[in-house]
Amino acid sequence: MALELVSPSTLIFTATLLAALSGAPLLVPRLLNASRGQLLATVLMLLASAIGLTGAILTLLLGRTELFTLPWTLPFDRPEIGIDPLSAWFLLPIFLIPGCAALYARSYWHADNSPRNVRKMTFFFGLMSGSMSAVTLARDGITFLFAWEIMALAAYFLVATEDEKPEVNAAGTLYMITTHIGTLGLFALFPFLTMTTGSWLFPAAGSLDASSPAAAAMFLTALFGFGMKAGIMPLHIWLPSAHANAPSHVSAAMSGVILKVGVYGIIRTLSFFYGVPLWWGALVLLLGAVSGIVGVAFAIGQHDLKRLLAYHSIENIGIIFMGLGVALIGQTTASAAMVLLGTAGALLHVLNHATFKALLFLGAGSVIHATGTREIDLMGGVARKLPYTALLFGVGAVAICGLPPLNGFVSELLIYLGFFRGVQGSGIAAAATALAAPALAVVGGLAVACFVKVYGIVFLGAPRTEEHAAHHEAGWQMLLPMTILAVVCAAVGLAPVLLSGMLQRASLNAFPSLGADADTSLATLAPLPIVSMTALVLLVLLAALAFWYRRRLTAAPQGEADTWGCGYQRPTPRMQYSASSFAELLTGLYAFVLKPRTHRPGIASGIFPAGTRFHSHVPEAVLELVYTPALERLYRRFLPIRRMQNGILQQYVLYILITLVVLFLSDYL
Amino acid sequence: MTQAFAVQLNSLLAALILLTAFALLAQRKILGLVHIFAWQGFFLALSTAVIGYASGEHHLYISSLLTLVMKVILLPYILYTLVRKLKIHRDIDAVVNIPTTMLLGIMLVVFSYHLTAPIRELSNLMTRSTLAVALATVMLGMLMMVTRRHAVTQILGFLAMENGLFFAATSATYGMPMVVELGVALDLLIAAFIFGIFFFHINTTFESLDVEQMAKLKETD
Amino acid sequence: MSLHPFAIELLQFVLLLGLAPAFAGWVKILKCRAQGRTAPGILQPYRDIRRLFGKDIVLAENASWIFRFTPYLVFGVTAVAAGIIPLLSVDLPLSATADVIALVMLFGIVRFFTALAGMDIGTAFGGMGSSREMMIASLAEPAMLMAVFTVSLASNSSSLTQMVAVMGQAEFAIRPSLAFALAAFIMIALAETGRIPVDNPATHLELTMVHEAMILEYSGRHLALFEWAGMMKLTIFFALGIAAFSPWGIAADGDIGALLLAFGLLVFKLAVGALIMVLIETGLAKMRLFRLPEYLGSAFLLATLGMIAFFILE
Amino acid sequence: MPASLDIAGFAVLLLLALAVLAPLLSSVRTIQIPLAFSLSAVASLAAVVAGIMTVASGSVASATISIGLPGLPFHLRLDPLAGFFLVVIGLMGLFVSIYSIGYVKGYGGVRSMTQMICFYTLFLAGMLLVVLADDAYFFLVAWELMAAASYFLVMYEDEKGENRRAAFLYLLIAHVGALAILLAFGVMAGQSGAPGFVGYTFNAMRSAQLSSGWAAAAFFLAFFGFAAKAGVIPLHVWLPEAHPVAPSNISALMSGVMLKTSIYGICRFAFDFIKVFPWWWGGVVLALGLLSAVLGVLYALMQHDLKRLLAYHSVENIGIILIGLGLSMIFAAFQMPTLAALALVAALYHTLNHAVFKGLLFMGAGAVLHATHVRNMEEMGGLIHRMPWTAPLFLVGCVSISALPPFNGFVSEWLTFQAFLLSPALPHPLLKLLIPLGAALLALTGALAAACFVKVFGVVFLGQWRGHQKPERIHEVGPSMLVGMLLAAISCLLLGIFPTWVIGWLDTIPEQLCGAKLAESAGKFGWLWLTPIAHERASYSGPVVFIGILVVVAVTWLLLHVHATSVSRVPIWDCGFVKLTPRMQYTASAFSMPIRRVLGFLFAVREQVEIVPHTNHPALPGSLQYRLRIRDRFWNWLYAPQGDAAYWVARQVGRLQQGRIQIYLLYSFVTLIVLLVFLG
């Protein structure tokens, strides 16, 4: 059979290498000019995506697990790579999004417009894609860390694409620092693992006892290290600025995929254990809830489009964690249904979030491209000039709000179902899930509010400033990837049944204890066909409504007039509701976490008062109120030590001399 | 030349090496420093030859010759031309005043003696007692690097340290293997060239060879 | 035939008293030659002293008895010191009076009273000279002690006769410790006897005077005593150096032949020593006062290195 | 013939009786002073006799007086070590008592004589009892008696703020020291294993078997306490404050004698109680001794207050004594009894010498003060013409303290040098190398001391009068003061010329403490030659030096005066400058300037030159004002931070004191609960 000739694993490895090296030709400037090189890289990337997706889907369909030991030796052990449904599931977004983003970049970040950094950007983009794939393929700690580190560094260079801007550099540095602090957690995690198993190789799923202290240490270090990458709440500080300052397609890839690699790490780590204690699940659930609510609350307060989307990533990671939490609690209470629903929900949301967040970032990229600003309050009426983009962004917005008939709804539904299963149980587990369900609801509600704001302010209304009025629709190279993503969103939302088999295999792969209970399957647990049906009905109804409305519109006479100014003679676009004013109520509600900063000068008195300004801003409160002061204090505490580093050469030699003397003396004593 | 006389001669040379190490600390003129360094190298070469003669380890003659060429002729010449070219003839300012440096130096010598006392008991080489001097020369070279501001004195301190190490090698084990010595000699030569370039850059950047200027490179806070 | 120890003692006493001016004259001759000047005869110092003895004394009104007593004391102490150092023979009855340390301290008396005499009149010059002299002495003393210490390590004694006896009979050996100690000793001796580069005995300039400033007010026989004592002191320091570092030839007992040989060698050594000193003096310039700490510090360092070299290398 | 302990007891009782009876005599002042001080002189003489007898015979006598605590009667013991210090105290007590007859008269009518006599005698008695005490309790009682009496004597002129401040500082440090000594005794008693109060007797301490850690704790606590009393740097700060402000006879006793009780204590602890100790104890003592010696003399050089200068010299000399003690301890630790004996003898000899010459110098300073009423040397000069007797006596003190032969200071320093010269015999390689450097420091100290006393004598007695008042009003002091000084000066000379006898007499002490005798080797060639270890090593002859110099000087003088040459007196030659004034002389500050420049980094020196313009033109300054302030760095390094810390702690504790009754009740309550928790 053809499938045997080209095995899925071969496809995936080929795709990984192809992706990683897609930008390599650009490194030889003599060989190719930038534009051609970018074209070549894009083609290679698309090829890699196609091959990789095929491989991943095949793996998921076949449910195959393969392991390969690489023939060379690293200092520690023989490296192992492998492919199984869990990895394959994560490979779906890993190959899908970068492919789309690469195509998008061909127009968005065209070589002719940005000759300075296109080579770097393209190369590292490919490298990042390849390394993300490699992370999911790694089956031992060392290989994993290698791939992980390459991914982190490549992402750093991508964040710092426009390294001539100071804010970009600051964001890059923050990302670099935090990601390495996270890696530090991993440096603790793998030795723990090795101490427990005696090998750097990953243990089989469900083979370690979770009740030991070492297991707790591993869980916590993994939660820290991967959580830092995934951007869960107190560890998310790098995320908003990095995503906001990277080029949009990079943000799409980072937000859509890199965060998911963090999630992958956690799921992979959790899969090693059996007999998970309750507090693991509760902790994960709590983190998820906090990330979800606070993330979306922060998002509401933003008026930088990409920053806002970045906070939504935190929110969605929160949702994924809530799903994971449900799964873990299910493990504790031995409820296979909860495990399956939670895991499947989380995994599906991984895919969903990847698609719709990528879609949104790409859409945002188009808008920014067209308006030349990231500031929502300066935009307005974009839909008129960019109708397709508006439509596609709308699809993304609906999807992210978890509304039917799109995909966000399906995954959230699975998680909700998991909650309900949990509530049926008893004890603390039930209480935890019972408390978590409303949190998810709040998240959904707030997300809707937020996207109403975004969509309303950006796309509707009139342009608020002349210079930032949108000019032109994006080209096909930008619209096509967005369309593909929108189609995926819609497809998953409309026909989740298509994925249920794969999803179940992936979940089973992560938590094999499910297999014990043979009659548990996603099909029986979740009413996916009904979802499809409902969605279809909804769609049909909508279409019908639209058709009818259109006919009414064409039939009825219509005239155009200015907006009624309530008698006021000179309404200007500036009088429209702005993003800040829209969000004001909600940010006020969450002021205790958000700590918004408003600058309201009094209105000067007199008959003809001079101009005044109002300015409000929701800062990255966790960074500015928790980390920065703590670091400041640390810095001040260590200031005396810093005096040792005074730049005077002699003193450095003196340190050496003193050290030498002390060493000699210590030897003598 | 009898064995006993050779030992005495070697002791005298060791004492002179120690003296030159102190003279390096005491000297204020840069050219004077270069001269003293050359003398130190000369005594070192002589001592190596004496040890070579007395111990019958004839490869030490080559070492001695190498030392003579490198440390008496080549390196001083390079430094000399450097000093001439960069026009740095003025007095050297020390971070710590010279008498205090001397006292510290004496303390370091006592310390070295104290450290090498056990080795002295264990070794049966005729040169064992000069090991303390060798270690002291290393320490004094380092002290020179610590207490002087000028970049040329830093390199001289470094080279004096190397002299000490070389002397330690001859007095502790009758010299290092030839390959190592050749390698070290080559390294030194290269180091001297690199330092030359380094000086040139410091000089053009700061218009001074005072290494304290380099504190400006530190990020401010 | 051999002389009685007391006879040797007396002989040596007279010898030092009598030879000192000649030695000073010799130094002066060498110095003049080195500087290309015509030299006075070797007997010139004798004539100077005789002339000064014949002169009247002019005393400041407020000079106290300290001022008048000091020249005699200085002369007396120097003369006593002269009896202690073995010049010709080790067999001296008075040599046990003081070891090297006590000998140095005897010169301390000289310095103490000279400095007091300098302050007695109450002129600025005298005070200046005293103040400088005491500072130089305070820095020279530790160095001197270290040099003595090193030599005494080698001979296992601080008694001069013993040193001469031990060192004079020791087999030849290269001893870095003694070389260092000798270098230190020469430097200190230059300081103690007020020679260039520490002091210039031939000048009366305010900026450079040290010793001369203290005895500026003296005249007549007082001055003669000071001058004579100064010459003796110079000779004694040479003798001390010879005894400590080059004692070969000093007779072990009172044998006349040995004594004659010792005398011949002594004259030779003194002549050579004077040559060395003159070379140093001609080659160097007078130092600024506040460079002296470094000079004496170097002497101390050399002496200490000598001691360390003794422990490490010998 | 009465036993020596009885004579000592008589001395103490006489002094105590004087203290009690002095008030009774207050009405007849003309008799009160001579009588009281002559009787204290008699008592001192008795102490000297008792001491000399004990040391000479090497006998040990003890007695128990059943007063004191129940179960712990007062124990007295007179052994050679105690006897030696008895001699030191008695000798100076004798000289100073004679001196005081004249000196104290100067206070006549202004101040209470009774107070002076009372505390003076108590002070002397306290010192004698410290030496005689043979149990910790009695020792501390005597120690406190001594401290308290001297405190009141420092406070004697209590209307001056500086006196009160100095006295307070003195009391503070004395008590911190006493506390440490008390703790040391506690450690010894606790570790002696003897039941009840018996552990507090010195006998129990002698036989106590201490572990090395406890022994070190005991010794260093005691050392700290005694060092505070002795003024060892860095615990010296009270000394230059307290000594100058006390009356000069008291300064002479405090500086000459009271400091020595600490030396006694250290000897007692190290050589008598603990006996076996590691070498580093000696190393610490030696290092601190060197530090004190060098810094003490340097600080002294910078002073221009005569008595303050002398006080710093006490720090220096205590340092020299400690050097000897430290060396002795090092030698003893390496089982070299002869060398230990040599160093110990050097230390003890210097103790005696310092007592005599420092007493002499303080008495001389008192005489100068008495005559001029100033302490600032910058305002003196030419006193040799006004005080023809005081000047030579003071000069003897100066020469002695400068360690110049043939006076006594030289002998003890020379012995210390000999001990240094023998240090290469030590088996420890590091010590071999390091200890000679200490000898260099000692040489530096000696030379600096000489410089300092050239300055003192030159500025105070030589040159011309610099002061504001008319020099004609200055007169020589009375006979009793001169006799007191003369006796001390003669002692200086005798101790310098006949060291062999003194060492022979002392010999029982090293025999008992170090287990080796020195007299045999030291006096091998008779009284004329001092050969401490062997004549091949080193020898010295005080008599020969003295006689030799005397003879040569006399002969020269005679020879030169055979023909009378005329001596004409003229005004000072002024180098052609017309208006030479006494103010142009070198001053004390000017004299020490070169050394200040060379070694000034050790001090906090602040020099200010202020030009007061006369006209507008800078070339014509009206006058120059030069101000020099030299401060002890230790004050800022050690004491000021501690003071601040104490103040800070006090302020923090002060917060507890709320002034609200509820809070106080809460404290009680909390305390109660804590106690219950601990008890339960």
Are D434 and B117 within 8 A, CB to CB?
no
In Å, what is the CA distance from B20 to each residue of A69, B16, B69, B192, C147? 63, 6, 19, 20, 19
In Å, what is the CA distance from D399 to each residue of A218, A445, C113, D359? 82, 102, 9, 14
CB neighbours of residue A597 within 10 Å: 12
- Are D222 and D265 spatial neighbours (Cβ–Cβ below 8 Å)? yes
Q: What pLDDT was estimated at residue A552? A: 81
Mean pLDDT of A476-481: 88
pLDDT of residue A527 exceeding 90: no
Residue A76 sits in the same domain as residue A209 = yes
DSSP-assigned states of every residue in B98-160: HHHHHHHHHHHHHHHHHHHHHHHHH---TTGGGHHHHHHHHHHHHHHHHHB-BHHHHHHHHHH
Q: Compute the distance between CA of residue A371 and CA of residue A390 in angstroms, rounded to an integer.
A: 13
pLDDT of residue A603 exceeding 80: no
In Å, what is the CA distance from D402 to each residue of A567, B145, D405, D413, D438? 111, 41, 9, 10, 18
Report residue D352's pLDDT band, with 50, 70 and 90 as the boundaries: very high
Q: Which amino acid is residue D357, in one-letter code? A: F
Best mutation target among D422, D457, D552 (most C Cβ atoms within 10 Å) is D552
Residue C313 at interface with chain D, using a CB cutoff of 8 Å: no
Q: Compute the distance between CA of residue A417 and CA of residue A440 in angstroms, rounded to an integer.
A: 12
Write out residues 59-98 of B within 8 Å (CB-CB) of A.
95
Q: What pLDDT was estimated at residue A424? A: 82
Partners of residue B130 in chain C, C-beta under 8 Å: 312-313
Best mutation target among D430, D431, D597, D599 (most B Cβ atoms within 10 Å) is D430
Tally of domains in chain C: 1
Determine the residue of chain D that is closest to C157 in CA distance.
D537
Tally of domains in chain A: 3
Helix (H, G, I), strand (E, B) or coil at B175: coil
- Are A474 and A107 spatial neighbours (Cβ–Cβ below 8 Å)? yes
Q: What pLDDT was estimated at residue A371? A: 86
Are C156 and D443 within 8 A, CB to CB?
no
- Are D376 and D309 spatial neighbours (Cβ–Cβ below 8 Å)? no
Residue A147 sits in the same domain as residue A204 = yes
Q: Compute the distance between CA of residue B135 and CA of residue B137 in angstroms, rounded to an integer.
A: 5
Residue D617 at interface with chain C, using a CB cutoff of 8 Å: no
- Are A125 and A253 spatial neighbours (Cβ–Cβ below 8 Å)? yes
Q: What pLDDT was estimated at residue D304? A: 85
Report residue A2's pLDDT band, with 50, 70 and 90 as the boundaries: very low
Partners of residue A651 in chain B, C-beta under 8 Å: 146
Write the pLDDT tens digit of every residue in A315-372.
999 999 999 999 999 888 888 888 888 998 999 999 999 999 999 999 999 888 888 8
Cis previous bond, A405, omega within 30:
yes
Q: What pLDDT was estimated at residue D401? A: 93
Q: Hey, what are D123's tokens?
A: 């002070």
Q: Which residues contact A652 (CB under 8 A, 6 or more apart)?
A: none
Residue A8 sits in the same domain as residue A152 = yes
Q: Which residues contact A240 (CB under 8 A, 6 or more apart)?
A: A298, A302, A307, A310, A311, A620
CB neighbours of residue A387 within 10 Å: 12
Partners of residue A656 in chain B, C-beta under 8 Å: 142
First to last CA, chain D: 66
Query: In the structure, do chain D and chain A come into contact, i.e. share 3 or more CB pairs under 8 Å?
Result: no
CB neighbours of residue B38 within 10 Å: 19
Write the pLDDT tens digit of every residue in D404-459.
988 999 999 999 999 998 888 888 888 888 888 899 999 999 999 999 999 999 99
Mean pLDDT of D255-277: 91
Write the pLDDT tens digit of every residue in A425-457.
777 788 888 888 888 888 988 899 888 888 888
For residue D634, with 0-12 CB atoms within 10 Å meaning exposed, 13-18 middle and 19 or more buried, which class applies? Answer: middle
For residue D646, with 0-12 CB atoms within 10 Å meaning exposed, 13-18 middle and 19 or more buried, which class applies? Answer: exposed
Determine the residue of chain B that is closest to C172 in CA distance.
B5
pLDDT of residue A1 exceeding 60: no
Q: Compute the distance between CA of residue D525 and CA of residue C273 in angstroms, rounded to an integer.
A: 36
Residue A377 sits in the same domain as residue A232 = no
pLDDT of residue A3 exceeding 70: no
Q: Which chains border D (3 or more CB–CB pairs < 8 Å)?
A: B, C
**Left, alpha or beta for D44 (phi > 0: left; psi -120 to 50: alpha)?**
alpha
Residue with the larger pLDDT of the pair D361 and A623: D361
Mean pLDDT of chain A: 85
First to last CA, chain B: 65
Q: What pLDDT was estimated at residue D392? A: 93
Mean pLDDT of D272-288: 91
Rg (CA), chain A: 26
Write the pLDDT tens digit of every residue in D627-672.
888 777 777 777 888 888 888 888 888 777 767 777 888 888 888 8
Residue B95 at interface with chain D, using a CB cutoff of 8 Å: no
Mean pLDDT of A471-497: 86
Q: What is the largest CA-CA distance in chain D?
A: 103
The secondary structure of residue D94, as a DSSP letter, is H
Structural domain for A658, as ranges: 638-669
DSSP-assigned states of every residue in A262-317: HHHHHHHHHHTEES--HHHHHHHHHHHHHHHHHHHHHHHH--BHHHHHHHHHHHHH
Q: Compute the distance between CA of residue C195 and CA of residue B215 in angstroms, rounded to an integer.
A: 45
- Are D377 and D588 spatial neighbours (Cβ–Cβ below 8 Å)? yes
* Interface residues on B facing C, Cβ-Cβ cutoff 8 A: 5, 8-9, 11-12, 14-16, 18-19, 22, 26, 98-99, 102, 105-106, 109-110, 113, 129-130, 132-133
Q: What pLDDT was estimated at residue B220? A: 55
Residue with the larger pLDDT of the pair A558 and C152: C152
Sign of CA dihedral A41, A44, A49, A55: negative
Residue A541 falls inside a structural domain: no
For residue D155, with 0-12 CB atoms within 10 Å meaning exposed, 13-18 middle and 19 or more buried, which class applies? Answer: buried
Residue B125 at interface with chain A, using a CB cutoff of 8 Å: no
Report residue D475's pLDDT band, with 50, 70 and 90 as the boundaries: confident
Sign of CA dihedral B184, B189, B194, B198: positive
Q: What is the pLDDT along chain C (314 residues), one digit of tens a residue?
A: 677 888 888 888 888 889 899 999 999 999 999 888 888 888 999 999 999 988 888 888 888 899 999 999 999 999 998 888 888 888 888 888 888 888 888 999 999 999 999 888 888 888 888 999 999 998 898 999 899 888 888 888 888 888 888 887 777 777 888 889 999 999 999 988 888 888 887 777 766 788 888 888 888 889 999 999 999 999 999 999 988 888 888 887 778 888 888 889 999 999 999 999 999 888 888 888 888 888 888 899 899 888 888 888 87
Rounded (5°) CA angle C264-C270-C273: 140
The secondary structure of residue D472, as a DSSP letter, is G
Q: What pLDDT was estimated at residue A75? A: 65
Residue A286 sits in the same domain as residue A249 = no
Point out the residue among A651, A653, A668 whose CB comes nearest to the CB of B142: A653
Write the pLDDT tens digit of every residue in A374-413.
888 888 888 888 888 899 999 999 999 888 788 888 888 8
The secondary structure of residue C287, as a DSSP letter, is P
Q: Compute the distance between CA of residue A194 and CA of residue B125 in angstroms, rounded to an integer.
A: 51
Mean pLDDT of chain D: 87
Residues pairing with A274 in the sheet: A209
Residue A586 falls inside a structural domain: no
Q: What pLDDT was estimated at residue B90? A: 65
Q: Compute the distance between CA of residue A314 and CA of residue A321 in angstroms, rounded to an integer.
A: 10
Size of interface B-D (CB pairs under 8 A): 12
- Are D407 and D492 spatial neighbours (Cβ–Cβ below 8 Å)? yes
Comparing CA positions, the residue from D591, D448, D607, D460 lying closest to residue C132 is D591
Residue A299 sits in the same domain as residue A408 = yes
Best mutation target among C56, C58, C62, C121 (most D Cβ atoms within 10 Å) is C62
The secondary structure of residue D77, as a DSSP letter, is E
Structural domain for C272, as ranges: 5-313
Residue C72 at interface with chain D, using a CB cutoff of 8 Å: yes
Helices (H), chain C: 5-34, 44-54, 65-82, 100-120, 124-155, 160-169, 176-192, 211-214, 220-245, 256-283, 292-313
Task: State the smallest CA–CA distance between residue D433 and chain C in angstroms.
Answer: 7
Residue A20 falls inside a structural domain: yes
Torsion of CA A403, A404, A407, A410, to 10 degrees: 100
Q: Compute the distance between CA of residue A240 and CA of residue A454 in angstroms, rounded to an integer.
A: 17
Q: Compute the distance between CA of residue A412 and CA of residue A345 in angstroms, rounded to an integer.
A: 7
What's the gap between Cα B133 and its chain centre? 12
Q: Which residues contact B133 (CB under 8 A, 6 or more apart)?
A: B14, B15, B17, B18, B112, B167, B171, C312, C313
The strand pair at D604-613 and A597-599 is best described as unpaired
Are D447 and C80 within 8 A, CB to CB?
no
Are B19 and C312 within 8 A, CB to CB?
no
Sign of CA dihedral A620, A622, A624, A627: negative
Residue A524 falls inside a structural domain: no
Give phi and psi for D300, each to the nearest 5.
-60, -40
The secondary structure of residue B29, as a DSSP letter, is B
Q: What pLDDT was estimated at residue D105? A: 82
